[in-house]
Chains A and B, each alone.
Chain A
Amino acid sequence: MLYREAGDFKTSYHADNQTFPIKFDRIGFWITMAIAFLVIPFVINDYWANAIFVPFLIYAIAAIGLNILTGYCGQVSLGTGGFMAVGAYACYKLMTAFPDVSIVIHIILAGGITAAVGAAFGLPSLRIKGFYLAVATLAAQFFLVWLFNKVSWFYNYSASGQINAPERFVAGVAVTGPNTAPWAQYMICLVFLTVCALIARNLTRGTVGRSWMAIRDMDIAAEIIGVNPLKAKLTAFAVSSFFVGISGALFFSVYLGAVEVGEAFGIQKSFLVLFMIIIGGLGSIFGCFAGAAFLVLLPVALKVLGVDVLGWPTDLVAHLNLVIVGALIMFFLIKEPHGLAQLWRLAKEKLRLWPFPY
């Protein structure tokens, strides 16, 4: 009763093609948007922005990027951290080389550069498949991190080897640098996420997305029915890296403000983003949000519960944290191997009938 798909008749092709064809989804989408854009910016403070919302939004962008590659096109990648680093360093070089150009353009360009790098590292995917490919993308991960560490041109020859985001403004409001208001940090990430998510959602519903999924389901069969695997795989790598690059640029400029490549974009980052999309649900944009929220919020929530509420020693809580996160991952997979997105689908099924079970 609460969630209905029936009775929602379309009278035009245009209506049938809209991003959210079901009325309930549309309403839900607009309510979420209203809360995200009109409520949260007014109540957010430093803690909420820096500890929860900004990392969540940025990881969600990265997760969308990786999900396009892994969830929609079936190419497992462990190079996400390296590609995020490309985005971050591209953004830094652009920011310092062209200080008068808007940071928004820099971030988008950083995404474009990452897309090119990603497509280049995607070439082996034409030959290598499955876990072999996953491990092969690690070559990109290690090589890129080594490169950014080694070549001092990337960090403008600074003695520290770190890159620092200078202060930049969008419409007169600081979005990077130390004096950024939490709502400004939040808003720029939110706008990027919203645009990315809408692009991703529509891409996956269109020709490109369908060719990706055909490749994912069986590449030989797809090739036989006329999908060009070269084009499909490389576009998937490029589009995926574009989003990942944007998230890397935001991660550096808006969230952290200063990064060192090995520490911020190491192999753990690649794994973390992969965990997000698997827990959230492969091949689902909603899953990206769910997965990012799960892995950003859960450790913070457990820490707050253990240290601040129960008053346990911090190291004990950190260890228990690992145990609980690990156990929960296994538990979820046993109960629902297709991730949180599938749980949400099941919940919708239930809601469709509720409160009359038959």
Chain B
Amino acid sequence: MSADFLYGIEVIINGLMAGVLYALVALGFVLIFKASGIFNYAQGVMALFAALTLVGIMEGQVPFSHLINAIFGTEVHHFGWEVPALLAIALTVLIMIGFAWAVQRFVFRHLVGQEPIILFMATIGLAYFLEGVGDLMWGSDIKTLALGLPQGGSLAVEEWTAGLGGDDFYGFFIDKLDMIATIVAILLVASLIIFAQYTKQGRAMRAVADDHQAALSVGISLNFIWVLVWSLAGIVALVAGVMWGAKSGVQFSLSLIALKALPVLMLGGFTSIPGAIVGGLIIGVGEKLFEYTIGAPFLGGATENWFAYMLALIFLVFRPQGLFGEKIIERV
């Protein structure tokens, strides 16, 4: 087999892995949109906030230390202890649940029944707010996530596949972190599906997603369900934040990963969890393959950002509700 062809396959494999990472971000959007019709612009910032909180807790940082120091003239930075990773993750999850409750209690409870664009706008306000709070709480320097996740290309895969091609083929490159991310994503989606299919709360969640009023009439508490989906979105955000943050360190730019998820959402449909996964994979492969075959050789590279959107756009022209989105039925 020619090296170009094999490298094409390598690009596809890595595209699939990247797609999983996009899908992780997109999942959070889908959960909230499905249950409450809110397009949550703050999902990216939530990932940043969750990752910041995790690192902050692990390192024993004093929250709001900068603010406290500025007001009281003190010099506090750290508590002087370090929290083990698992405990820190549990605490972060608790904080994300608290955050979900607060968002529901103080913001969206007052906005029930508003038009989607108003709800969208409120999440933008939320994004600003959370970004500011995150910075105030944990500072704006780049933090290293010391969870001990493996990084780097897998040598085993490389050696094992190197024989497939000639001398100019070096074997497939697969990042260990991407493998972990894939496994985590599979576990996450599996547990979400099990939760949604087999537990009482999960069924209630699906009922709410189907029809708010019908769900209300059978005695499901909408408030509870909404807190639940925001909590789940918070947990998904934590996972996404950890996976992306392991690569780049935990920093402000983490909030921009939301932009990577938008074409995935378009393609997969805003209301479908499998859609988010399949959409992520298609976008990941599509943009990488385009960059490999056309973008880098002929267009000067850096085409991935816009190509992802173009791909989704072309797709939508043929299927306006996305791959797995609910069929849009319009009545007068």
Query: Do any CB atoms of chain A lie under 8 A from CB atoms of chain B in the complex?
Result: yes
Contact A139 B121 (CB under 8 A): no
User: What residues of B have a CB within 8 angstroms of the CB of A278 in the complex?
Assistant: 117-118, 121
**B interface footprint on A204-228 (CB within 8 Å = 1, 0 otherwise):** 0000000000000011110010000
- Is B217 located at the chain interface by the 8 A CB criterion? no
Chain A interface size range: 35 or more
User: What residues of B have a CB within 8 angstroms of the CB of A29 in the complex?
Assistant: none
Taken together as a complex, chains A and B put the C-alpha atoms of A279 and B168 apart, in Å, by: 58
Taken together as a complex, chains A and B put the C-alpha atoms of A329 and B331 apart, in Å, by: 33
Report B94 CB to chain A, min CB distance, Å.
22
Contact of B126 among A138, A312, A330, A338 (CB under 8 A): A330
Contact of B316 among A124, A218, A224, A319 (CB under 8 A): A124
Taken together as a complex, chains A and B put the C-alpha atoms of A324 and B133 apart, in Å, by: 10
Are A128 and B316 also in contact (CB < 8 A) when A76-B117, A224-B332 are? yes
Contact A333 B125 (CB under 8 A): yes
Report A277 CB to chain B, min CB distance, Å.
10
Within 8 A of B (CB), among A108-150: 124, 127-132, 135-136, 138-139, 141-143, 145-146, 150
User: What residues of A have a CB within 8 angstroms of the CB of B125 in the complex?
Assistant: 325-330, 333
**A interface footprint on B88-124 (CB within 8 Å = 1, 0 otherwise):** 0000000000000000000100110011111011101
Contact B132 A337 (CB under 8 A): no
Contact B117 A150 (CB under 8 A): no
Are A322 and B320 also in contact (CB < 8 A) when A146-B303, A220-B332, A282-B117 are? no
**B interface footprint on A297-315 (CB within 8 Å = 1, 0 otherwise):** 0000000000000001101
Are A329 and B122 also in contact (CB < 8 A) when A135-B263, A139-B306, A316-B66 are? yes
Contact A267 B259 (CB under 8 A): yes
Contact B306 A326 (CB under 8 A): no
Taken together as a complex, chains A and B put the C-alpha atoms of A76 and B118 apart, in Å, by: 12
Contact of B320 among A128, A220, A337 (CB under 8 A): A128
Taken together as a complex, chains A and B put the C-alpha atoms of A328 and B70 apart, in Å, by: 24
**B interface footprint on A315-358 (CB within 8 Å = 1, 0 otherwise):** 11001111111111110011001100000000000000000000
- Is B226 located at the chain interface by the 8 A CB criterion? no
Contact B332 A218 (CB under 8 A): yes
Contact B306 A142 (CB under 8 A): yes
Report B109 CB to chain A, min CB distance, Å.
9
**A interface footprint on B251-274 (CB within 8 Å = 1, 0 otherwise):** 000000001001101100010000
Contact B114 A337 (CB under 8 A): yes
> Interface stretch among B52-60, B147-155, B172-180, B307-315?
B307-315
Give me 28 A-to-B residue pairs in the complex whose CB atoms sit less than 8 angstroms apart, sorted by A's number: A127-B316, A128-B313, A128-B320, A129-B328, A130-B116, A131-B39, A131-B120, A135-B266, A136-B312, A141-B309, A142-B305, A146-B305, A279-B121, A316-B66, A316-B136, A319-B140, A320-B132, A322-B128, A322-B135, A325-B132, A326-B129, A326-B130, A326-B132, A329-B121, A330-B126, A333-B111, A334-B122, A337-B114
